[in-house]
Amino acid sequence: MIKSKSTRFGDIVIALVSFIVMFICLVPLLNVLARSLSSAEYLIRNEVVLWPKGWNVDAYTTVLKDPKYVHSLWYTGLLTVGCTLLSLAMTIMCAYPLTYKELKGGKVINVVILFTMYFSAGMIPHYLWLRNLGMLDTLWVLVIPSCLSVYNMIIMRSFFFGVPESLREAAEIDGAGPIRTLIMIYLPLSKAVLATLALFYAVGRWNGFSDALLYLKKREDLYPIQLLLYNILQNTTNVEVATQEGFSTPGLGETLKMATVMFATVPILLIYPWLQRYFVTGVTLGAVKG
């Protein structure tokens, strides 16, 4: 198709606007990255914008030498992997049976589950119940209360609904029970949505800190990276961190904060672009509620 001059002009304008929007998305990260890699003299003169000046990785090496921070990174990484696997298993166990029309009581269970999306007991009742269970200040409080998300379950279920019924019937004629059908037919077809949900759960756990803030008071060793970061940014870090060399050096303080921010950001930024194709489908499935 031959394009008119005005259309081509329009294309150029839209491409330009896209560049500006992308720039706005990236500027905060690039600026912080550049500053965290620059030496103090250039920072003081406000000469660092998007490109580091006076290459300097002291902040990063200092962070990597801080055992507390390294521990938190490892620990949050392992926690994230563990929680993601558990959550995926729970989501499949919840979503799969609900796709069976033959399941008696399925509708009731469905309502019971969906209700929790709209009405929640609230912060204090949850806190008091977890206190009663003795789960406060344990690792489990970061794992179990958040191990199943109704929204993600709906995405999984919508996807399962899309699997042709004929496949299931064929498996049943071959004598496969529901679990065998799940493992042989449904799961192999669901790699895309499983990847999406793994991403959603993993991002949720890696980025989450409110449960740790509410439920972990005495156990700083269980703080996930985001809560540690929150404390660093709020300048309420405990004495150990503050007296750690580097953290107490005033000039380095700012770049150190930025280096810690980068460490907590990079893992996710490395992963999500590879799953883009999948999570787009996932979000669309999630919009088909009920």
Partner 1 sequence: MSKNTIVSQGRVGTQSANFKSYMRRYGTLYLLLILPVIFFLVFRYIPMAWILGAFKENNIFKAPWELAWAKNNGFEWFVKAFNDRTFINALRNTITLNLLDLVCGFPAPILLALMLNELTFKRFKKITQTVLYMPHFLSWIIISGLALRLLASNDGLINILYKRIVGNADASIPFMSNNNWWVGTYVVLGIWKEAGWGTIIYLAALTSISPELYEAAAVDGAGRFKRIWHVTLPGLRPTIITLLIMNLGRILGSEFDRPLALSNKLVTDVSQVISIYVYQNGLKANKFALTTAVGLFQSVVGVLFLIAANQLAKRFGERGIM
**Nearest to partner 1 of 24, 239 (CB atom):** 24
Hey, how many other C-beta atoms are within 10 angstroms of the C-beta on 46?
7
User: Is position 10 an interface residue for partner 1 (rule: CB under 8 A)?
Assistant: yes
CB of 147 to partner 1, least distance (A): 7
User: Is position 229 an interface residue for partner 1 (rule: CB under 8 A)?
Assistant: yes
User: Is position 123 an interface residue for partner 1 (rule: CB under 8 A)?
Assistant: yes
Instruction: Tell me the window of 30-38, 62-70, 72-80, 188-196 that interacts with partner 1 (CB under 8 A).
Output: 30-38
Output DSSP code: residue 82: H
Residue 70 CA, distance from chain mean position: 19
User: Is position 21 an interface residue for partner 1 (rule: CB under 8 A)?
Assistant: yes
Hey, how many other C-beta atoms are within 10 angstroms of the C-beta on 169?
11
Hey, how many other C-beta atoms are within 10 angstroms of the C-beta on 259?
26
Hey, how many other C-beta atoms are within 10 angstroms of the C-beta on 208?
19
Instruction: Tell me the window of 61-69, 121-129, 188-196, 238-246 that interacts with partner 1 (CB under 8 A).
Output: 121-129
CB of 64 to partner 1, least distance (A): 18
Per-residue tokens: 170? 């064929």
Does residue 37 contact residue 263 with C-beta atoms inside 8 Å?
A: no
User: Is position 127 an interface residue for partner 1 (rule: CB under 8 A)?
Assistant: yes
Hey, how many other C-beta atoms are within 10 angstroms of the C-beta on 64?
14
- The burial class, CB within 10 Å (0-12 / 13-18 / 19+), for 80 is buried
In whole angstroms, give the CA distance from residue 32 to residue 265: 12
User: Is position 230 an interface residue for partner 1 (rule: CB under 8 A)?
Assistant: yes
Of positions 238, 243, 249, 284, contacts partner 1 by CB under 8 A: 284
Of positions 49, 70, 85, 183, contacts partner 1 by CB under 8 A: 49
| Residue from 70, 66, 58 nearest 244 by CA | 66
Task: State the helix-helix crossing angle for 250-271 and 225-233, rounded to 10 degrees.
Answer: 150
CB of 115 to partner 1, least distance (A): 9
User: Is position 155 an interface residue for partner 1 (rule: CB under 8 A)?
Assistant: no
Q: Please list every residue from 79 through 118 that binds partner 1, using CB under 8 A.
A: 90, 93-94, 96-98, 100, 102-104, 109, 112-114, 116, 118
**Nearest to partner 1 of 10, 67 (CB atom):** 10
CB of 119 to partner 1, least distance (A): 5
Q: Is 138 helix (H, G, I), strand (E, B) or coil?
A: coil
Does residue 273 contact residue 199 with C-beta atoms inside 8 Å?
A: no
User: Is position 264 an interface residue for partner 1 (rule: CB under 8 A)?
Assistant: yes
Q: Please list every residue from 240 through 259 that binds partner 1, using CB under 8 A.
A: 254, 257-258
Of positions 2, 5, 55, 124, contacts partner 1 by CB under 8 A: 124
